[in-house]
Structure 1
Amino acid sequence: MKLVVVGLGYVGLPLAVALARHFEVCGIDIDIRRIAELRDGQDRTGEIDAATLRESSLTYASDPADCPAADAYIVTVPTPIDAANRPDLGAVMSATRMVAKMIEPARRPVVIYESTVYPGVTEDLCGPEIETVSGLTRGRDFTLGYSPERINPGDREHTVDRIVKVIAGEDEATTDTLEAIYGKATSAGVFRAASIKAAEAAKAIENAQRDINIAFMNEITRIFGSIDLSVWDVLAAAGTKWNFLPFQPGLVGGHCIGVDPYYLSHLAEQLGHDPRVILAGRDTNDGMARWIAERIHDRAGKAGSALVLGLTFKENVPDLRNSKVADLIAGLTELGHIVTVHDPHADAAEATHEYGVTVDGDALDRQYDVVVLAVPHAAYLEMGDELAGLVAQDGLFADIKNGMPTLTGATRWTL
């Protein structure tokens, strides 16, 4: 069986490498620089190490013509939102048109989508687009399938070859094909969803559920903050109950949790339903960075020099997509603080391009009125009380994620 994986980012590359252990796989990415790096054994996302890349039989292409005809095409491109928080399906539809031109009907391939979408996109939008571009007929010349991605950047435990893969085809034979593919890739097995729409919906609610639970944590954090009560003290007590869910407050960014709920709310609004819970959670989480900036400013007592430690959306990964630390920086800047940013994992050029933020690699050689541990990278935690040395006399150390609860040598504030 020959496979083509379209999109070699955080989702596509680990999947392609896992599948290449069992099948002939060609990976396509329109980023020529990305393809060159992968051929040299370099993965800028940090998901696959150089040795694994060198040993893989995976082949690469930036031109679809360089990939052989396949029995399955797997689309793993991003599905972001636009400035109005509406689904942006541009990359998915572009990839769909690319695949449509690659299909050889004699092979009757299955086109599988892993990109997060709202229910109906695969069958009601992508399928017809393939037919329009290719002139082929769905069900006769090709079929559709869906298997939602569950990649968690930086997670070395729940990797693609160890997690249950939800699969669904437009018919039983197609679902059998998906099981033959993904069953080889993961040791955890597959779950055959009732339909493609059920599989699409499952992915949408997985991240929406996390978003809503974190929003509750953020809301109580703001309530308790008004009476100078640390939410971490409250959670330590509440966590002793056997069925208390261990969610934590914080900045909700990244390509999934901060984005996917808008796909679900978009569907709801199309159907005439007001998704109040979903959008309330999004509103709470999107406003958290600005609230934290105001609290830090109030605690500091005045505007001054500020060092923000960490810019990526989560710890120990280089992923800058939808990082809410950028909103925190903007909030501190608007309040008059002169902000310096440091992050050992972030790509400086990408930070400037995406957020207009300069990452200062020499930022740890001086003191600041306020030091904000925004992202608790291991490199920072290993510094221990040395972090207090970055704080000027009478300054403030703001520990957003409670990463340094035993810090001494500086006045510490946390949520």
Structure 2
Amino acid sequence: MSDEFIPNHPTIAVIGLGYVGLPLALEFASQFQVIGFDTNSARVDAMKQGLDPSHQMDSAAFLNKTIEFTSQTEDLRQATFFVIAVPTPVDEYKVPDLTSLLKASETVGRVLKKGDVVVFESTVYPGCTEDDCLPILERVSGLSLGIDFKIGYSPERINPGDKVHTLATILKIVSGSDNAALEQIAEIYGKIITAGIYKASSIKVAEAAKVIENTQRDLNISLMNELAIIFDRLGIDTQEVIEAAGTKWNFLKFYPGLVGGHCIGVDPYYLLHKSRQLGYDPQVIHSGRRINDGMPAFIASKLVQMLIQKGKSPQHARVLMMGITFKENISDIRNSKVADLVRELMQFAVHVHLVDACASPNEVAREYNLTLLDEPSGNYDAVVVAVAHDEYKSLTISYFKSITQPDAILMDLKGLYKNQSDQQLTYWRL
């Protein structure tokens, strides 16, 4: 295989058109001919109409782009540069689920040709690209790495809902199976990334860099969550403590909260899985995950205790849960810890009403078997504001009084409102 750049104007195929793949495909389509591939034909049909099924990009993002959307594997044969950006979740036992990634590798393997390049963007544990995905590419295609094709890894850094840190403005890490692959991949991504390219020394280094980015955030938040549990027992406000400590120049302000979604709440399990395969059981990472996964149970127990202290029976209590998406101002409900909180409350026989300003009722019903109401009905014994949607930030204490019974509880999990308890409403926050 020649070490010269593959074609001057390659056709790029992006496999997986979700929160990561679609923005990437559209960005590439401003510079190259692009094939956007997804196995979900309904999603493909929507994108052909200029609609983003994830509701992150408006129709203007589809204009003047040289892109063909398809769910047909044969259409991928035109491509010479493949980017795999499919989800890599964990299963119910917190074990990495590589099903989509391995199937995508098989799909690309069926159309792989001499001279092609395959880049993986899905979050994985160090070694996955070369140990798990590469053998599939070689077996299905009948080709050999280095002789017939090259591979690389470039971790995604998409932050759903963030209009400032967008794809092109985030420094891009790239890596390759050899120096030629590294340079080729860097040149392709360099056409669309204005923030610059960082060339990692190996694929494993790039994989590890990605997985520790979110592991670090997970651990920082878990510390704040553990402190919130301690300070709650002490009867002091965690947010006030953080503000006071934050007056020191080198104190980093992280805040307690529910840690869900498809990144921070998932990525550490990939590193845990690989570490245990190597015979090492990480203590700090596992402890952080245990604390964060346990927060829904802590919050539910706290609310039930507060209801009982007020003489309210949990079995007869009506609670309004505001927000189920994993973060503010997006429709993504994957790995929502709010859903876990609702279930925890239901274990106490609490009657929970659920609303959300962004989520799809159909998706919530399909994913969690929960009903999303159009609007609150009122007469609640407690309201839990779980997600900081913009629509919730402007709400006043007077509003919460209007939808609750006397002596109700307002649980503010995101610290959106000032602590102003009175005789009609008891305020509590993490």
TM-score (norm 2): 0.93
Q: Deviations over 1:57-80 (max 9, x none)?
A: 222001121234222100000001
Partners in 1 of 2:64 and 2:41 — Cα distance?
Answer: 21
Contact 1:388 1:397 survives alignment (8 Å): no
| Correspondent of 1:379 among 391, 394, 406 | 391
Shift of 1:184: 1.1
Deviation at 1:387, TM superposition (A): 3.2
SS of 1:117's equivalent?
coil
Distance 2:303 2:400 in 1: 17
Give 1:104 deviation, angstroms: 2.0
2:127 counterpart residue number = 120
**CA distance in structure 2 between the partners assigned to 1:9 and 1:252 by the alignment:** 21
The Cα of 1:355 is off from its aligned counterpart by 1.0
1:1-400 alignment runs, 5 A limit: 1-105=10-114, 108-301=115-308, 302=312, 303=314, 304-363=317-376, 365-385=377-397, 386-400=399-413
Partner Cα distance (1:83, 1:185) in 2: 37
Matched, 1:414 2:425: no
Q: Is the 8 A contact 1:69 1:103 kept in 2?
A: no
Query: 1:77-133: CA deviations, max 9, x gaps?
Result: 00011121111111000000000011122xx11110000001111111111111111
Q: Compute the displacement of 1:228 (Å).
A: 1.3
Take 1:4 and 1:406, find their aligned partners in 2: how far apart are those partners?
A: 52
Q: Does the C-alpha gap of structure 1 residues 167 and 343 become closer, same or farther in structure 2, counting only changes over 3 Å?
A: same
Distance (whole Å) between structure 2 residues aligned to residue 371 and residue 229 of structure 1: 21
Q: What is the letter of the counterpart of residue 158 of structure 1?
A: H
One-letter code aligned to 2:425:
A
Shift of 1:134: 1.0
Partners of 1:222 and 1:283 in 2: how far apart?
A: 14
SS at match of 2:164: coil
User: For the aligned residues, what is the CA RMSD?
Assistant: 1.3
Whether the aligned pair in 2 keeps the contact of 1:69 and 1:104 (CA below 8 Å) is no
Give the % identical residues. Answer: 45
Deviations 1:330-374 (A, max 9, x none): 1111122100000021111111111111000132x4231111001
1:288-337, CA deviations, whole angstroms, 9 ceiling, x for partnerless residues?
01101111111222310000000000111100000000111011111221
Q: Which residue type is aligned with residue 232 of structure 1?
A: Q
User: Which one is further off, 257-266 or 385-394?
Assistant: 385-394
Q: Which stretch shows the higher mean deviation, 66-75 or 142-151?
A: 66-75
CA distance in 2, matches of 1:52, 1:68: 26
Moved more, 324-333 or 404-413: 404-413
Give me the whole-angstrom Cα distance separating, in 1, the residues matched to 2:350 and 2:68.
Answer: 49
Amino acid at match of 1:411: T
**In 2, are the aligned partners of 1:391 and 1:397 still within 8 Å (CA)?**
no
Task: Provide the C-alpha distance between the structure 1 equivalents of 2:213 and 2:357, rounded to a whole number of angstroms.
Answer: 30
Per the TM alignment, residue 173 of structure 1 is displaced from its structure 2 partner at its CA by: 0.9
Give yes or no for contact 1:307–1:370 (8 Å, CA) kept in 2.
yes
Q: In structure 2, what is the Cα distance between the partners aligned to 1:15 and 1:407?
A: 45
TM-score by length of 1: 0.97
SS across alignment from 2:234: coil
One-letter amino acid of the structure 1 residue matched with residue 364 of structure 2? A
Offset, 1:406: 5.8
| CA distance, structure 2, for counterparts of residue 224 and residue 369 of structure 1 | 25
Query: Residue 265 of structure 1 contacts residue 279 of structure 1 at CA under 8 Å; is this kept in 2?
Result: yes
Say how many residue pairs are matched: 412
Structure 1 Cα separation of the partners of residues 248 and 212 of structure 2? 26
Instruction: Give the letter for the 2:21 counterpart.
Output: G
Q: Can you give the 5+ residue segments of structure 1 that lack an aligned partner in the other structure?
A: none
Q: Secondary structure at the match of 2:13?
A: strand
Task: Write the deviation string for residues 261-292 of structure 1: whole angstroms up to 9, x where unpaired.
Answer: 01001111011111111110100000001101
